[in-house]
Structure 1
């Protein structure tokens, strides 16, 4: 059954998200392409939400009817790098392929350039094998700039990554209801 995308929202994390958080952050399929390890306990998740998610400068919970089903994070640069930020995201497997992540990225784009006034460039790095994530970025209006060969270790494997970007001067995508 397709999800009504008008039910999707972004909001800061809350400690009460812990049970919903465990449903997706405890799934190896969701964390496969993330730098995070898969969460294995509610206590570990509570600590992460409290110490990392809540104080983070721009991390939002992707929600359906205010229930956390994933996340989107913007990591702003500082100093001479304050003009750019890195973006990452993940969503529960049961919601893959339904346009939810694309809507979340488009929604984030409409907010983050207002929230971070020095931001000119938002970039995202995607493992070459992660075709679905590449498609999300493309549908959200990111430009794929190229492949970075043997760029970083991810869970012990040296990976090739694609880098894509969205500039403040780009046309912002329409966020469907």
Structure 2
């Protein structure tokens, strides 16, 4: 189900509402983005202050404003608290492609929430953003994310060696992709 409010789409699944993240959500973001296990494969240091969370929220707004991405806060239907985020970044409309990313509070790992959220976002990307290709860049040790995207039908295309410099080191990343015809 899709509901547009002030042009920002709200996505609804069986258990989740994916919505715009606002400054009111800063404490929720700080809670899970300060967890070293959550941040382990994201390429950022764990957050230390509410200002780190506010900067992240500001980044979400900037990619939306610049049409280079969109990030939804993941909430459980019976609660309003943001427990993760999922969305597109590095959107390139002229090539009909974007990267996808997700993170989730550790207390909700293993509940199928990440699968439910990412599926809704993928569906939105193909149906409403006219994407042809969605990419996921994943560090080789991040087996849970690899399993997550493979479950959605993503294909591992190869290894991008020393693709990113994060946390003072070069990281290899697997390139996964999902094409619209494969999802349909």
TM-score range, shorter chain: 0.7 to 0.9
Q: 2:129 aligns with which of 110, 116, 120?
A: 116
Q: Is the 8 A contact 2:32 2:104 kept in 1?
A: yes
Q: 1:156 aligns with which of 168, 171, 184?
A: 168
Unmatched 5+ residue regions in structure 1? Answer: 173-177
- Cα distance in structure 2, aligned partners of 1:14 and 1:152: 29
In the alignment of these two chains, the number of paired residues is: 165
Higher RCO (C-alpha 8 Å, min separation 6): 1
- Distance change >3 Å, CA 15–CA 164, structure 1 → 2: same
Task: Tell me how large the CA RMSD over aligned residues is.
Answer: 1.9
What's the counterpart of residue 129 of structure 1? Answer: 141
Unmatched 5+ residue regions in structure 2? Answer: 1-12, 65-69
What's the counterpart of residue 67 of structure 1? Answer: 81
What is the TM-score normalised by the length of structure 1? 0.84
What's the counterpart of residue 154 of structure 2? Answer: 142
Q: Is the 8 A contact 2:163 2:171 kept in 1?
A: yes
Q: Is the 8 A contact 1:33 1:154 kept in 2?
A: no
What's the counterpart of residue 175 of structure 1? Answer: none
What is the TM-score normalised by the length of structure 2? 0.81
Q: Is the 8 A contact 2:161 2:172 kept in 1?
A: yes
What's the counterpart of residue 102 of structure 1? Answer: 115
Which ranges of 4 or more aligned residues in structure 1 deviate by more than 6 Å? none
What CA deviation, in whole Å up to 9, does each residue of 1:86-117 have, x standing for no partner?
A: 11111111111221111111111111123322
Q: CA deviation at 1:76?
A: 4.2
- Cα distance in structure 2, aligned partners of 1:142 and 1:73: 16
Q: 1:15 aligns with which of 14, 23, 29?
A: 23
Higher strand share: 2
